[in-house]
């Protein structure tokens, strides 16, 4: 196994851009071998229409890589052709870029996404990247610029906002866009749940390793849960309305998530977004155990309303006028369907181009975070042109490197305070 950064004489592979793969084997490389990356690779290998092979893997941590390798090989042993192409370390992604993979799955913590996306496109690879695509505006702009290069090179770019590939969502959104509930005047989006894991610090860890193991709790890595998770729901409303919001204001904080093992992020956000069309969207996301779980998107129009997640339309009196009859078995699982759609397009020689809306929906979430962290009204132009960069991920090569944020003497990290002039937005 090669350590990250050791290219070992590999030649730079250039993918078959704008080429119809047909039934030819498509070679994939995986960068980021956590749960999401593992599942994405399995979904890719399960697609039909031709052979798919996993030919390279990389992760910062060897235990993540080995776990993913075992899981993937256990399902699709005949599709795994790795030899010595398993790479560990912060620079391990470079080896995957230099491999003969045609397409790459980028599934590391989001803070690394702009760096890895840029490297993948420079290497001439088709890309599937998990959402969100950045954690700050600097990263979003970098992704937008790289996406333009991908378009010019004829490279396919897919983004893991899988609701856009779910049959029920597509049916419901189209009906609304076709006027089934009249003109949309108001929207609501929710991801209220119990939260995620905490991984205790160990004595041998460096500060950077601790943060990477607990990436969800550090803004430079996750963007806070409004960006990492709630982006799904915000994307649905952007998709429906065909645009991003122009303004946001809101509030949030850390009511229960207040320990030294909870990094920097809030446990609740509520944001009011304003679109140029005049539509307002109320957005809620919360991580609190024992509270009501609510995940979904709702819109209200001049003739009725819609529960998009459940694909139900109501008239103005609340009567159901349409409900999708699509079952999960027939296409509701967007996680796998997004790979079915992507690989089918690759085999036809079509180039998916999801990078722009992925970046705009990510920026929508970042703008909401900027509003809740600052306590002020934030405009789109100011937000997307912000020069606040949460971390220079290209400067990180070893777990011994200094972490982008450091705790104080009590082990606590800098936490945004609304109303103050914080730079951590």
User: Which helix (H) or strand (E) element contains residue 218?
Assistant: none
Question: How far apart, in Å, do the first and last CA atoms of the chain sit?
Answer: 39
pLDDT tens column, 245-269: 999 999 999 999 999 999 999 999 9
pLDDT tens column, 358-371: 999 999 999 999 99
pLDDT tens column, 60-101: 999 999 999 999 999 999 999 998 999 999 999 999 999 999
Mean pLDDT for all residues in the chain: 94
Whole-angstrom CA distances from 343 to 22, 162, 337, 354, 371 are 10, 14, 10, 14, 38
**pTM of the prediction?**
0.95
pLDDT for position 329: 60
State the Cα–Cα distance between residues 312 and 26, nearest whole angstrom. 38
pLDDT for position 250: 98
pLDDT block averages, 10 residues each, the chain of length 425: 37 57 94 98 95 98 98 97 96 98 98 98 98 98 98 97 96 98 98 96 97 98 98 98 98 94 97 98 97 98 98 98 82 84 96 97 98 97 98 98 97 94 67
Phi, psi torsion values for 325, nearest 5 degrees: -100, 10
pLDDT tens column, 120-164: 999 999 999 999 999 999 999 999 999 999 999 999 999 999 999
**Total residues belonging to the chain:** 425
């Amino acid at each position: 196994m090669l350590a990250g950064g050791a290219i070992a004489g590999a030649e730079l592979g250039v993918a078959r851009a704008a080429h119809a793969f047909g039934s030819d084997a498509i070679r994939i490389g995986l960068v980021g071998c956590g749960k999401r990356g593992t599942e994405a690779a399995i979904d890719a290998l399960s697609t039909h229409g031709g052979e798919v092979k996993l030919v390279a893997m990389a992760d910062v941590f060897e235990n993540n890589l080995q776990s993913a390798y075992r899981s993937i090989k256990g399902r699709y042993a005949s599709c795994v052709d790795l030899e010595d192409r398993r790479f560990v370390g912060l620079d391990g992604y470079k080896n995957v870029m230099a491999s003969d993979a045609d397409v790459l799955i980028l599934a590391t913590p989001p803070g690394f996404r702009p760096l890895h996306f840029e490297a993948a496109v420079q290497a001439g690879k088709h890309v599937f990247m998990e959402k969100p695509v950045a954690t700050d505006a600097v990263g979003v702009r970098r992704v937008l610029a790289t996406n333009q290069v991908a378009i010019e090179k004829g490279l396919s770019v897919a983004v893991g906002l899988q609701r856009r590939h779910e049959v029920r969502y597509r049916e419901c959104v189209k009906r609304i866009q076709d006027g089934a509930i009249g003109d949309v005047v108001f929207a609501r989006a929710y991801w209220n749940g119990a939260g995620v894991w905490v991984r205790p610090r160990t004595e041998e860890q460096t500060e950077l390793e601790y943060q990477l193991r607990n990436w969800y709790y550090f803004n430079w890595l996750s963007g806070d849960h409004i960006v990492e998770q709630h982006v799904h729901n915000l994307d649905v409303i952007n998709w429906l309305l065909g645009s991003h919001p122009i303004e946001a204001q809101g509030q949030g904080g850390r009511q229960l998530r207040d320990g030294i093992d909870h990094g920097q992020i809030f446990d609740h956000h509520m944001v009011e977004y304003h679109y140029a069309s005049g539509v307002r969207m109320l957005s809620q996301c919360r991580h609190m155990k024992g509270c009501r779980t609510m995940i979904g998107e709702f819109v209200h129009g001049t003739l009725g309303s819609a529960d998009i997640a459940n694909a139900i339309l109501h008239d103005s009196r609340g009567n159901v006028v349409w409900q999708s009859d699509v079952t999960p078995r027939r296409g509701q699982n967007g996680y796998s369907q997004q790979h079915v759609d992507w690989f089918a397009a690759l085999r036809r020689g079509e180039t998916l181009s999801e990078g722009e809306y992925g970046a705009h929906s990510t920026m929508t979430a970042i703008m909401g975070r900027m509003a809740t962290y600052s306590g002020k009204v934030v405009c789109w132009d100011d937000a997307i042109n912000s020069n606040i960069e949460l971390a220079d991920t290209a400067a990180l090569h070893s777990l011994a490197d200094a972490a982008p944020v450091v705790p104080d003497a009590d082990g606590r990290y800098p936490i945004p305070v609304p109303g103050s002039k914080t730079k951590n937005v």
